[in-house]
Amino acid sequence: MSFLDLSRETRREILDDPAVDPADRERSLRDVERSNMLFGGRRAVMLALRPLFDDIAKTSRSATGPSLPASRRAEASLLDVGTGRADLPWRAREIARRRGLALRTIAVDGAFILVSAARHRVNDAICGDALGLPLADRSVDFVLCSQLLHHFDHDRGVALIAELDRVARRRVIISDLRRSWIAAAGFALAASVLRFHPITRHDGRISVLRGFTEGELGGMVVSATGVQPAIRRRLGYRLTASWTPAAAA
């Protein structure tokens, strides 16, 4: 790959191998959680979720009046697919609470050790396949998938998006990386300064180069669902795509 070539990286990440030592996997995911907090991953997701929470809380207040306790005024559910250590649903539940919304959080990940680590942060933690979610159609209000899609090739990525769309009632949000040599170089430098695990350093750079352009991400959603998503650029070379499932609408 030349310096000016921005085609998607095809090399796999070390953590894509299920045989990776569980302790190394969890250690690397701790770095990912820290990276999300420092470099915009968490912020991108919460910016997408906040207006959705506000809409439900506002509608509930209009219907029931302001006198009821917040936990009784509004309820919703959030599924995080590829949750890692569940830092995002944990943070989302706190933001929802401040808005008078009782948010039930469900986390799905393919690595049992991560599901075990996530249990204390969510209401339900499930070890399962993102391409075959063990949930019924339209069973969860909001479906979130953060920094998972870039691990898939195009066809499997489209299949993943279709599965997210299947289980969502109100909204699907995908947050991922915007492909950039600048971002890849910046992460490599920051990872060295922050003393991230060697796996994190290796995978982080590849992750950025496996990221997407706005057109690629939007095109995959359209291919999977027939719906044109709202695409937003966020700080830290992040992209979010969100849409209301056609069947739900």
Q: pLDDT digits over 195-224, tens only?
A: 999 999 999 999 999 999 999 999 999 999
Q: pLDDT digits over 26-71, tens only?
A: 899 899 999 989 999 999 999 999 999 999 988 877 666 555 554 4
Specify the pTM: 0.90
Burial of 112 (0-12, 13-18, 19+ CB in 10 A): exposed
Q: Report pLDDT for 67.
A: 53
DSSP state letters, the chain: --TT--SPP-PPPGGGSTTS-HHHHHHHHHHHHHHHHHHSHHHHHHHHHHHHHHHHHHHHHHHH-TTS-HHHH-EEEEEEET-TT-HHHHHHHHHHHHTT-EEEEEEEES-HHHHHHHGGGSSEEEE--TTS-SS-TT-EEEEEEES-GGGS-HHHHHHHHHHHHHHEEEEEEEEEEBP-HHHHHHHHHHHHHTT--HHHHHHHHHHHHT-B-HHHHHHHHHHHHS-PPEEEEETTTEEEEEE--TTT-
What the block records as the tokens of 83 is 């949750």
Q: Report pLDDT for 58.
A: 83
Q: Report pLDDT for 4.
A: 45
Going from N- to C-terminal start, the domains of the chain cover 42-177+218-243
Given a cut of 80, whether residue 6 has pLDDT beyond it is no
Query: What is 42-177+218-243's CATH number?
Result: 3.40.50.150
Instruction: State the amino acid at position 80 in one-letter form.
Output: D
- Lowest mean pLDDT across 58-67, 73-82, 164-173: 58-67
